[in-house]
């Protein structure tokens, strides 16, 4: 018996519906079990989207059928592996980083029942959810020409009875020894995923808005990036600090080009290629790519800049070079 027919359009539409439901639910002003429900919907949205991409590629989304059993569709991890195996990640989207992001949320979903009382983890999971929505939008737009932005506004600002902390937020968590252990295991799992992506040269900016996490059982925090502390004493607070730009934008221009040339196909890019592209796209004004201290001279560059430069072809760079030369001649 042949495998059941699955509509690519239905998979993609249901995936979009799940992601929109997750965003709407997460942004409700009053709801319990917020993080867990939102993550479940987000993970479901990705599983459907990945299966739609596989079906579009005429690849099976079923496990081999066993006698006297029904067909079973593949799970999330297998869907991620197959999309990577068949090279279905769109150009400009680093599959390694996106996979780590999705698996981080999947790990949270799997542990949700154990982490129910760890309400402070909402501050940890939020950067992953935020980046996940951006990754999802890029993937669906490139793969199915479906733009999540057409169904929601991107200018939402949080409204509340108190203003959010600018640099540090404090949340209380269950400080029992069992809960501290659960939180520590979860944080360790996230760090392992991030380290694997960084080691593989993947785009760590695709994992989370803030992507370096440390768990410390101390009261006073000093790390400049994201710090999560669970103290088993009476205070028991989780402390979160914003990312250090030295972490999010770690590359000098030379390091940026070295990484780009190591990953891209085509000729070796030079500082001139970077100069003309920066002129064309105003890269230095985009915080996603570049950062400069107010008293500094040179710019620092992010992993996202690496991904962007890698995604462009030799023809793209040649065209920008020609436009730059023409513009220079016009101004003379």
Are residue 132 and residue 269 in the same domain, yes or no?
no
Are residue 236 and residue 263 in the same domain, yes or no?
no
If you write DSSP's letter for every residue of 69-122 in order, what string do you get?
A: S---B--HHHHHHHHHHTT-SPTT--HHHHHHHHHHHHHHHHHTTTSTT-GGGH
Are residue 187 and residue 306 in the same domain, yes or no?
no
Task: Give residue 325's pLDDT band: very low, low, confident or very high (50, 70, 90).
Answer: very high
Helices (H), the chain: 8-26, 34-56, 76-85, 95-111, 122-144, 177-199, 245-248, 253-263, 271-281, 303-311, 314-331
Residue range 138-173, pLDDT digits in tens: 999 999 999 988 887 655 545 555 444 333 333 334
206, 224, 247: which is the final residue of a domain? 247
Residue range 215-224, pLDDT digits in tens: 443 333 333 3
Residue 2 makes CB contacts below 8 A (sequence gap 6+) with none
Are residue 204 and residue 280 in the same domain, yes or no?
no
Q: Which domain holds residue 89?
A: 8-153+165-247
- Residue 80 covered by a domain: yes
d(CA 34, CA 283): 37
Task: Give residue 232's pLDDT band: very low, low, confident or very high (50, 70, 90).
Answer: very low
d(CA 236, CA 179): 11
Structure confidence at residue 243 (pLDDT): 56
- Residue 2 covered by a domain: no
Torsions phi, psi for 209 (to 5 deg):
-60, -40
Are residue 297 and residue 232 in the same domain, yes or no?
no
Q: Is the pLDDT assigned to residue 315 strictly greater than 90?
A: yes
- Residue 180 covered by a domain: yes
Residue 215's DSSP bridge partners are 228
Task: Give residue 195's pLDDT band: very low, low, confident or very high (50, 70, 90).
Answer: confident
Are residue 172 and residue 267 in the same domain, yes or no?
no
259 vs 295 pLDDT, higher one: 259
- Residue 86 covered by a domain: yes
Structure confidence at residue 222 (pLDDT): 35
Residue range 53-79, pLDDT digits in tens: 999 999 999 988 888 788 889 999 999
CA distances from 5 to 2, 10, 110 (A): 9, 11, 29
Which tokens go with 156? 């939402």
- Residue 158 covered by a domain: no
Residue 126 makes CB contacts below 8 A (sequence gap 6+) with none
Structure confidence at residue 181 (pLDDT): 64
d(CA 212, CA 225): 6
Are residue 100 and residue 187 in the same domain, yes or no?
yes
Are residue 256 and residue 241 in the same domain, yes or no?
no
Are residue 193 and residue 49 in the same domain, yes or no?
yes
d(CA 137, CA 142): 8
190, 214, 247: which is the final residue of a domain? 247
Are residue 192 and residue 317 in the same domain, yes or no?
no
Number of domains in the chain: 2
Task: Give residue 122's pLDDT band: very low, low, confident or very high (50, 70, 90).
Answer: low
Report CA 25 to chain centroid distance, whole Å: 20
Are residue 101 and residue 238 in the same domain, yes or no?
yes
Are residue 176 and residue 285 in the same domain, yes or no?
no
247, 266, 285: which is the final residue of a domain? 247
């Amino acid at each position: 018996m042949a495998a059941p027919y699955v509509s690519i359009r239905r998979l993609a539409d249901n995936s979009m519906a799940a992601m929109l439901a997750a965003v709407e639910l997460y942004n409700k002003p009053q709801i319990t079990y917020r993080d867990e429900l939102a993550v479940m919907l987000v993970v479901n949205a990705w599983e459907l989207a990945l299966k739609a991409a596989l079906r579009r590629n005429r690849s099976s989304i079923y496990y081999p059928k066993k006698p006297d059993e029904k067909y079973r569709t593949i799970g999330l991890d297998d869907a991620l592996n197959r999309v990577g195996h068949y090279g279905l990640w769109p150009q400009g989207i680093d599959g390694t980083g996106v996979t780590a992001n999705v698996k981080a949320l999947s790990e949270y979903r799997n542990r949700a029942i154990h982490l129910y009382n760890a309400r402070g983890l909402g501050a940890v999971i939020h950067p992953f959810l935020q980046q996940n929505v951006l990754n999802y939008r890029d993937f669906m737009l490139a793969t199915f020409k479906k733009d999540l932005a057409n169904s929601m506004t991107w200018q939402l600002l949080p409204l509340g009875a108190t203003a959010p902390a600018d640099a540090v937020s404090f949340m209380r968590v269950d400080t029992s020894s069992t809960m501290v252990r659960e939180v520590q295991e979860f944080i360790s799992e996230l760090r392992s995923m991030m380290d694997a992506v960084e080691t593989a040269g993947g785009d760590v900016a695709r994992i989370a808005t803030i992507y370096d996490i440390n768990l410390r059982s101390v009261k006073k925090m000093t790390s400049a990036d994201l710090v999560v502390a669970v103290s088993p004493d009476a205070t028991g607070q989780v402390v979160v600090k914003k990312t250090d730009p030295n972490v999010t934008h770690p590359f000098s221009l030379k390091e940026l080009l070295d990484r780009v040339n190591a990953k891209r196909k085509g000729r070796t890019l030079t500082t001139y290629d970077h100069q003309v592209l920066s002129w064309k796209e105003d890269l230095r004004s985009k915080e996603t790519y570049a950062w400069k201290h107010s008293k500094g001279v040179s710019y620092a560059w992010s992993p996202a800049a690496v991904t962007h430069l890698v995604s462009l072809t030799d023809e793209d760079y040649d065209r920008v070079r020609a436009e730059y030369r023409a513009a220079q001649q016009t101004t003379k």
